[in-house]
């Protein structure tokens, strides 16, 4: 019987990224502004996977291993830069996300928002 290894936590991923950067002596380039710009560049590459596609074409593409692999790679690139930015800025992303979800729950209570787009309730 094989035991399935659980996915790494945000903290573990941050440590992996930090080690990767350190081994390459890239800390000198990882200023917050450079990391934010890099995240935006990677987000642009992610958006290219959706550019000019209809919703139906995207749904169809999601059944392709090649498309899913490219999508996963681009999402990972964005997340790597965002986790690195948070790390450099001294932000614990697990805590930040938990706090933000509490704020979101207060801003968008279920009884008022359920089934509606957030922008329709502002």
**Are 83 and 28 within one domain?**
yes
Contact present, 18 and 87 (Cβ < 8 Å): yes
Domain count, the chain: 2
Looking at the fold, whether 59 and 118 belong to one and the same domain comes out as no
| Residue 2: inside a domain | no
Q: CA of 48: how far to CAs of 18, 39, 43, 106, in Å? A: 28, 14, 9, 34
Q: In this predicted model, what pLDDT tens digit does every residue of 71-113 receive, in sequence order?
A: 999 999 999 999 999 999 999 999 999 999 999 999 999 999 8
User: What confidence tens digit (pLDDT) does each residue in 5-28 have?
Assistant: 899 999 999 999 999 999 999 999
pLDDT surpassing 80 at residue 120: no
Residue 1: predicted pLDDT: 59
Q: Are residues 71 and 117 in the same domain?
A: no
What's the CA gap between 118 and 104, in Å, rounded? 10
| Distance separating alpha carbons of residues 1 and 17, to the nearest angstrom | 32
User: Given a cut of 80, is residue 121 above it in pLDDT?
Assistant: no
72 in a domain, yes or no?
yes
């Amino acid at each position: 019987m094989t035991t399935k290894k659980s996915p790494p936590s945000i903290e573990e991923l941050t440590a992996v990224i930090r080690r990767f950067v350190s081994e390459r002596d890239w800390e000198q380039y990882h200023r917050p502004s450079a990391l934010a710009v890099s995240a935006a560049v990677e987000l642009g590459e992610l958006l290219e996977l959706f550019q000019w596609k209809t919703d139906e074409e995207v749904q169809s593409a999601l059944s392709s291993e090649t498309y899913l692999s490219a999508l996963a790679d681009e999402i990972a690139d964005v997340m790597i830069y965002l986790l690195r930015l948070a790390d450099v800025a001294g932000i614990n992303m697990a805590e930040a996300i938990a706090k933000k979800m509490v704020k979101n729950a207060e801003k968008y209570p279920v009884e008022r928002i359920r089934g509606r787009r957030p922008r329709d309730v502002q």
